[in-house]
Amino acid sequence: MKKNTMLLLFVTITAAVFSQERVAAVQKMYGGLGGVLVHKNGYGSEAGFQVVWKKNWTTALYYQSGEADPKNLPDDYKQGYTLVFPDPSPAVAFKMISITGGKAVDLGRRFWLTTEGGLSFVTGEKMTFRRQSSSGNILYTPSNYTTTIESSSAVGGVVRADLHWAILRFAGLSLGGFVQFNSLQTAPGIVTKLILGKMNIKSSN
């Protein structure tokens, strides 16, 4: 329900700007797909859609998914292992939808920077750790903690800045950084994407 509310809010905001500015006022419009690295050994993917309007105002919709170390991972946590092979490291999954608005700054014919802030809806996992004895046998030694996982969701905020490079009139690359604020995982990250759409490369004249 909350996801639908955020999508409706994004569409409403974009439609409101679109109705005021007209189609000709869309300077750039593109979608992108790429990878994400997040603090605490996190990684995942991102899909996004962004519009740069007249006077360089921007609106965007992003979807991220991935996994990262639990924020409450004990400092003395030790993995279990079978013979010499360690168990998988504890990790929690996350999915995030963000709607943002901001400004774009032209840095040349093919480069521009966008800075944005907005709301995010996050679904993910919380992990609970309980200490236990790590004594085992010749084949298997357990971790010094047991873990339980529960699903949770939260509404938070996100700020980000992205540098975009239009390689062709319809394709380019972007590299950016973001910080997400929510009760599940507050962490910085970086993202790199292939972008496709209207790049609006300026004339060299």
Dig out the tokens for 104 from the structure. 């774009």
Looking at residue 24, what is its pLDDT?
55
Looking at residue 13, what is its pLDDT?
52
What pTM did the predictor assign? 0.81
- Which residues make beta-bridge pairs with 95? 65, 123
pLDDT confidence band for 186 (50 / 70 / 90): confident
CA-to-CA distance for 46 and 32, rounded, in angstroms? 8
**Cα dihedral 168→170→171→177 (10° resolution):** 110
Average pLDDT of the segment spanning 161-179 = 95
4 has a pLDDT exceeding 60: no
% the chain with pLDDT above 90: 57
190 has a pLDDT exceeding 70: yes
How many Cβ atoms from other residues are within 10 Å of residue 102's Cβ?
Answer: 20
Average pLDDT of the segment spanning 100-122 = 95
- Which range among 21-30, 81-90, 92-101, 194-203 has the greatest average pLDDT? 92-101
Residue 66, C-beta contacts closer than 8 angstroms, at least 6 positions apart: 36, 38, 42, 43, 44, 45, 93, 94
CA-to-CA distance for 46 and 44, rounded, in angstroms? 7
How many Cβ atoms from other residues are within 10 Å of residue 130's Cβ?
Answer: 8
- Which residues make beta-bridge pairs with 99? 61, 119
pLDDT digits (tens, 9 = 90+) for 129-169: 999 987 777 788 899 999 999 999 999 999 999 999 999 99
- Which residues make beta-bridge pairs with 65? 45, 95
Looking at residue 21, what is its pLDDT?
46
Largest CA distance in the chain: 76
Dig out the tokens for 167 from the structure. 């390689």
